[in-house]
Amino acid sequence: MSDPNWVETASGNRIHRTSRISGKKHIIIGGQTTIESHCKLSASTENQCSLSIGKCCYFNTGVELNAVSKHPKGIKIGPYCFIDKNTKVEDGVTIGNRVRIGAGCRIGKGAILHDCCVVEDGVHLFNGFVVAPFSIVRNKGKNVDDDDDDDDDDNDDNDGDTFDVLEVEELDPSVKICNEEFVKHKLLLG
Amino acid sequence: MEYKVFCPCYEPTETRLQKQETNEQPLLETIDPPLQKRTQDYSHIPKTLSHKVTSHDVKTLQFCSECQSIRCENCTSKELIAKFCPRCFHFQAPSALVCNRNCFSCPRCNNFLSIDVSTEKDDISARIKGKTFNFHCGNCKWLFTTGLVEKPAPLATIVKRLSVDDDDRQFKKLKDHYLSRYDAMNLLDTETRILYKQELISRFSSLEIASMSKSGKLPNFEVNYESDDDEIEDVQDKKIIHKANIPSHKLFPVCQSLRCREITKCAVCNTVLTSMPEDASATTIRKSVHSPAVEVLPEINVTRFRNYEKKTDPNRIGVPNWALSIMNPLQEDIDVTLSYPDDIRLFCQDKIIKKGASYSVHLPCTSFKLGARPASCSKLEEVVKMVPTVILTNYTKQSRIELMGRSPIGLANVTWTPEKVDNEFYEAMSSRPLDSGVNWATLLLVTDVDVEQKQLDFPLFLSVKGENHSFGVWYLLQIPIN
Ligand SMILES: [Zn+2]
Ligand SMILES: [Zn+2]
Ligand SMILES: [Zn+2]
Ligand SMILES: [Zn+2]
């Protein structure tokens, strides 16, 4: 009955065979966590534990957790987190409990996401950014740096650097419940 | 499948008087029972049931155990207990609006600004002249400098002082003008005169006060428009600039606004519904929610039968049979009674049902018992028991083990076979659930809906009676069909 594409560990973690995990000895996964296909988990071999993941997390296809840059903190992810497709998490990131991160995000070095946060699709979270509990982070699009003192409409592309603009809002505490339900259903009901 | 829960707090309450005037029927029959009573029994269909604002996501609702009723945003009240900064997590005075601990964001991209300070000394005497604060954004590289600040002050105050522009000055003038008027009017009113005495003395000369109280007239506060003409034009010019992109050197660091910590109370009986422990830090998230509606109202899920596939369906348009699963979140046994209106066309959200097209539902079993939810459900083996067989997958080891232990009759009842459209099947299932488990039951739901309809909107009334709970609640089910 069991699917040959999946590896199931003693603590109930399910890892797809196409996912690549390096530095296995330095990774702790809490149990009942699902890692979908083509994920990349890399841990630095210098730390005792540079990548720790709580129980009942769900990582969708193509998620990358990169803890190899010798950041003293490594990556910590709390229980009941959900990370959607092709999201990259950089070193030194701390993610609390029940955090939901959308598809195609990048969580910058040393960022801290407190419990019950939601990060919408396509957000590039700044390095070292702190997100308070029960917050939602949105991408407000890109802006062009036109730091010219004379406000002429020169369309010199080489002058302007584009940068991301974010928006942080407070979230209703009820999301905690919805998040838990979501992960539970993903696990049991497919 | 999605569903909304109806809160009756917008229901109009009819008065005895109106009824007497307009209706000649005996009084007893025409007076609606009090709201509380009305919402517990299926006595009539609420007037605001199909109204968008009255239906809520169950996650956003509270349950007041005192009233035995759900409470939405509209029928709860909030009380501010503390304010904190969502960045440095320090609590601040309830009157504060922004963080006073040097938390600033970039006006262009919202990133945190890093601040460095340089102290300037007099070249000759080596005395400290003042400080310069430099703000820097690591994302968009925006820079801001306060220039030399001689008098020490909170950084938020310094930034605020720098950012005062002509708009603000113009507004302050107008505000001062009206404040003076307001005070002068209070002066004319002898009763409040004493109360405002202190403020009046600071604002007016004693001569002015004397003349005002004698003549009973307001002093002349006309704005001198002539001298302000230039400034008004200035403001108009500025408004045009505001519409275009503001050049980055005219932007200022944004102070971090604070977040509130509140307690929620039932607006009817004042029972506390959510609160925070006194000693909780700003990063503490665990609110004591005394009873969220999700932990009281049964959860409903309408699905197809197991292994149902459109391809195997001889009609290829979707079979009229559905499985309605109800799960009890309470830790007590409950009796459930279901009711629904005969005509559900009124609740169709598309409002485009063709004349003569069918749009109805039928629930053969409307009264049944649900067991209590097990007290402990932290382990997966315990959680899996609460998943109805009809939606239990075989994707995990845990669910496969559980599936093998489920009742074979129940499993057969909720597994799709072409015979499940026969009348015989309906009759056999007329008075009991298809399948049931620890705290859940699965019922047969028969739909008769036109092929062109995409969704079925179905209002369902649940009456729940248990040892500690007795309430009635309207669900608005949205079943995707065809
Ligand atoms: Zn309400
Ligand atoms: Zn702060
Ligand atoms: Zn910036
Ligand atoms: Zn109440």
pLDDT digits (tens, 9 = 90+) for B337-362: 999 988 877 777 766 666 677 788 88
Q: Which residues of chain B make contact with A187, given a CB cutoff of 8 A?
A: 380, 396
Instruction: State the Cα–Cα distance between residues A55 and B455, nearest whole angstrom.
Output: 37
Q: What is the DSSP string of B369-380?
A: EEPPPPS---SH
To the nearest whole angstrom, how far is the Cα of B61 from the nearest Cα of chain A? Answer: 9
Q: Which residues of chain A make contact with B140, given a CB cutoff of 8 A?
A: 143, 145, 161, 163
Any idea what DSSP says for residue A161?
A: P
Contact A57, A182 (CB under 8 A): no
Structure confidence by residue, pLDDT tens digits, B371-407: 999 887 777 788 888 999 998 988 878 889 999 999 9
Closest CA to B296 of B78, B71, B133, B97: B71
The domains of chain B are located at 104-219+230-255, 297-480
CB contact under 8 A, A114 and B285: yes
- Write down the pLDDT at residue B277: 73
Q: Does B285 touch chain A (CB under 8 A)?
A: yes
- Write down the pLDDT at residue B158: 87
Q: Which of A134, A147, A170 sits opposite B285 (nearest CB)?
A: A134
ipTM over 0.90: no
Ligand nearest to the CA of B257: 2
- Mean pLDDT per block of 10 residues along chain A (190 residues) reads 81 92 89 92 80 93 88 88 94 92 93 92 92 89 62 46 85 53 50
Instruction: State the Cα–Cα distance between residues B353 and B46, nearest whole angstrom.
Output: 22
Structure tokens at A98: 């029940």
Strand-pair partners of A143: A163
Q: Does B114 touch chain A (CB under 8 A)?
A: no
Which H or E element spans position A116?
Answer: none
Ligand nearest to the CA of B76: 1
- Write down the pLDDT at residue B21: 44
Q: Which residues of chain A make contact with B285, given a CB cutoff of 8 A?
A: 114-116, 133-134, 173, 176
To the nearest whole angstrom, how far is the Cα of B285 from the nearest Cα of chain A? Answer: 7
To the nearest whole angstrom, how far is the Cα of B13 from the nearest Cα of chain A? Answer: 30
In chain B, what percentage of residues exceed pLDDT 70? 72
Q: Which of A132, A161, A173 sits opposite B86 (nearest CB)?
A: A132
CB contact under 8 A, B285 and A173: yes
Return the CA Rg of chain B. 33
CB contact under 8 A, A174 and B60: yes
Dihedral of alpha carbons B186, B188, B189, B195, sign: positive
Instruction: State the Cα–Cα distance between residues A134 and B283, nearest whole angstrom.
Output: 10
Average pLDDT over residues B366-371: 92
Contact A98, A121 (CB under 8 A): no
Instruction: State the Cα–Cα distance between residues B443 and A177, nearest whole angstrom.
Output: 26
Mutate which of A2, A153, A188, A189 to disrupt the B interface (most B C-beta within 10 Å)? A188
Closest CA to B251 of A145, A160, A186, A181: A145
- Write down the pLDDT at residue A150: 44
Strand-pair partners of B325: B301, B442
Structure tokens at B296: 């009281």
- Write down the pLDDT at residue B22: 43
Instruction: State the Cα–Cα distance between residues B411 and B406, nearest whole angstrom.
Output: 7
Give distance in angstroms: CA of B111 to centre of ligand 3: 5
Contact B81, A97 (CB under 8 A): no
Instruction: State the Cα–Cα distance between residues B196 and A42, nearest whole angstrom.
Output: 70
User: Tokens 């890692």 correspond to what residue?
Assistant: A35
For residue A100, with 0-12 CB atoms within 10 Å meaning exposed, 13-18 middle and 19 or more buried, which class applies?
buried
- Write down the pLDDT at residue A112: 94
Structure tokens at B390: 């009809």
Q: Which residues of chain A make contact with B382, given a CB cutoff of 8 A?
A: none
- Write down the pLDDT at residue B310: 67
Which H or E element spans position A95?
Answer: strand A94-95
Residue B221, pLDDT > 70, answer no
Q: Which of B247, B285, B394 sits opposite A133 (nearest CB)?
A: B285
Closest CA to B32 of B7, B56, B8: B8
Any idea what DSSP says for residue B477?
A: E
Structure tokens at A108: 């910058």
- Write down the pLDDT at residue A190: 42
Contact A106, A122 (CB under 8 A): no
Residues around ion ligand 2, judged by CB within 5 A, are B 85, 87-88, 99, 101, 103
- Write down the pLDDT at residue A173: 55
In chain B, what percentage of residues exceed pLDDT 90? 21
**Chain B, window 213-272: residues with a beta carbon less than 8 angstroms from a chain A beta carbon:** 245, 247-249, 259
CB contact under 8 A, B396 and A187: yes
The mean of the pLDDT values for chain B is: 78
Residue B233, pLDDT > 60, answer no
Any idea what DSSP says for residue A24?
A: G
Give the angle subtended at the CA of B372 by the CAs of B367 and B378, to the nearest 5°.
140
Give distance in angstroms: CA of B371 to centre of ligand 4: 26
For residue B17, with 0-12 CB atoms within 10 Å meaning exposed, 13-18 middle and 19 or more buried, which class applies?
exposed
Instruction: State the Cα–Cα distance between residues B305 and B294, nearest whole angstrom.
Output: 25
**Chain A, window 132-161: residues with a beta carbon less than 8 angstroms from a chain B beta carbon:** 132-135, 140, 143, 145-149, 151, 161
Q: Specify the range with the lowest mean pLDDT, choosing from B114-123, B188-197, B341-350.
A: B188-197
For residue A99, with 0-12 CB atoms within 10 Å meaning exposed, 13-18 middle and 19 or more buried, which class applies?
buried
- Write down the pLDDT at residue B20: 42
**Chain A, window 168-187: residues with a beta carbon less than 8 angstroms from a chain B beta carbon:** 168, 170, 172-178, 184, 187
> What letters, b where the CB count within 10 A reaches 16 and e where it falls short, cover B29-48?
eeeeeebeebbbebeebbeb
For residue B102, with 0-12 CB atoms within 10 Å meaning exposed, 13-18 middle and 19 or more buried, which class applies?
middle
Q: What is the DSSP string of A119-152?
A: E-TT-EEPTT-EE-SSEEEEEEEEEE----SS--
Closest chain A residue to B281, measured at CA: A133
Residue B80, pLDDT > 50, answer yes
- Write down the pLDDT at residue A41: 93
Structure tokens at B422: 């026969």
Give the angle subtended at the CA of A53 by the CAs of A47 and A57, to the nearest 5°.
165
Residue B75, pLDDT > 80, answer yes
Confirm whether pTM is higher than 0.80.
no
Closest chain A residue to B89, measured at CA: A132
- Write down the pLDDT at residue A102: 94
- Write down the pLDDT at residue B100: 86
Strand-pair partners of A89: A65, A107
Q: Specify the range with the lowest mean pLDDT, choosing from B192-196, B269-273, B293-297.
A: B192-196
- Write down the pLDDT at residue A53: 94
Between A65 and B234, name the one with better pLDDT. A65
To the nearest whole angstrom, how far is the Cα of B248 from the nearest Cα of chain A? Answer: 6
- Write down the pLDDT at residue B96: 87
- Write down the pLDDT at residue B249: 64
Ligand nearest to the CA of A165: 3
Instruction: Say if strands A51-53 and A75-77 run parallel, antiparallel, or are unpaired.
Output: parallel
Contact A133, B285 (CB under 8 A): yes
Between B18 and A121, name the one with better pLDDT. A121
Give distance in angstroms: CA of B272 to centre of ligand 4: 9
Which three-class secondary structure state does DSSP give residue B141? Answer: coil
Ligand nearest to the CA of B248: 3
Which three-class secondary structure state does DSSP give residue B385? Answer: helix
CB contact under 8 A, A1 and B384: no
Q: What is the dihedral of CA B432, B433, B438, B440, to 10 degrees?
A: -130
Instruction: Give the confidence band of B195 by pLDDT, cuts at 50, 70, 90.
Output: low
Question: In this structure, what are the phi and psi dihedrals at residue A59, rounded to the nearest 5 degrees?
Answer: -110, 120
Closest chain B residue to A4, measured at CA: B395
Q: Which residues of chain B make contact with A132, given a CB cutoff of 8 A?
A: 86-87, 89, 259, 282-283
Structure tokens at B168: 């603000």
Contact A128, A111 (CB under 8 A): yes
Any idea what DSSP says for residue B153?
A: -
Q: Which residues of chain A make contact with B395, given a CB cutoff of 8 A?
A: 3, 188-190
